[in-house]
A and B are shown apart, each in its own frame.
Chain A
């Protein structure tokens, strides 16, 4: 039992790490990863919603009728997204402004509905918690990695601290839309190369 919980947790960190292995939840991962700060903020928000909704759905799984389960899942997820939205507005206002419409858009992030449907609706509360936490942390790590590459190359800073000297010319392409797509595509390619060994 204990071992399987650990497995549920760790699978989110490499084997099924979103958004690389499960190609879900791409939109926010491309949009908010201009800076590391935004990437981490988004990752933490998603982790919170994922853990809470996974646990609640797992608790309610025997009550929810099969026919309307998707609607029920969406309501649960939307509730926690609203909680996160209000919390961020209260405590991290600058970050709230930076992320903008991408906070309410966590609702339609396919990772949440995907995990609810594929895992939480079939498993008990503790494995669901582990699954949610693992997936959430995996997602945060991927966002941070992507954001780090884009921020270091695109604006020459890491977490708003300059990395290169003043003579560095920022590669502005990386912080704009095309850079996001190409960067994620190449990271996916590197992941494929590493795991083929």
Chain B
């Protein structure tokens, strides 16, 4: 049990997917201008990432590995993720409309979110067991959501500040992301 807690802390803080592993930066800068959109994106990523992590793990261990099709990993993973996102979208629309209304527009964007694909590949590369994969996927996604929400808070403040013209928008966004990343450095050596 302790191992899983350590793994979770490591994935959320020490190896934060956005700020330490540089994955998922496009939505990070794209949807972090408002707190609500950041929350929606974070929730959708948690939802999809856990499912995607579980399914790609099974795909890799039951299909690709036994038959020696590992060179097809990239292509099969991206198809699985794309299909999964599509399926989740349809499912939510039918059965949980309230959640769909909240997540709706962010779901299609997740297909090209490199954090999802990246975490699936990391799980395979680190040779995690099935339970470890679930814990790691959830924690990486939680870390993604945490960073996104923190960053949205910073960005809402930046709008009110007087920023020099050339630095506006993405530029100042990147610089403040750097500062946030620096803050996350404090977690290094915790696990």
Contacts and interface: CB of A to CB of B under 8 A. Distances in A.
B166 A193 contact: yes
Interface residues of B, number: 44
Give the secondary structure class of A's interface.
helix
B82 A182 contact: no
Contact of A108 (B21, B71, B117): B117
B178 A105 contact: no
Contacts, number: 125
B29 A26 contact: yes
A67 to B, nearest CB: 12
B26 A101 contact: no
Interface stretch (B31-39, B97-105, B129-137, B169-177): B169-177
A178 B114 contact: no
Contact of A177 (B111, B165, B181): B181
A185 B172 contact: yes
A59 interface: no
Given A74-B82, A105-B118, A189-B166, A24 B26 contact: yes
Contacts of A193: 166
Contacts of B177: 181, 185
B157 interface: no
Given A24-B26, A75-B75, A101 B118 contact: yes
Given A177-B20, A181-B178, A182-B174, 5 more contacts: A25-B26, A31-B22, A74-B78, A74-B79, A180-B22
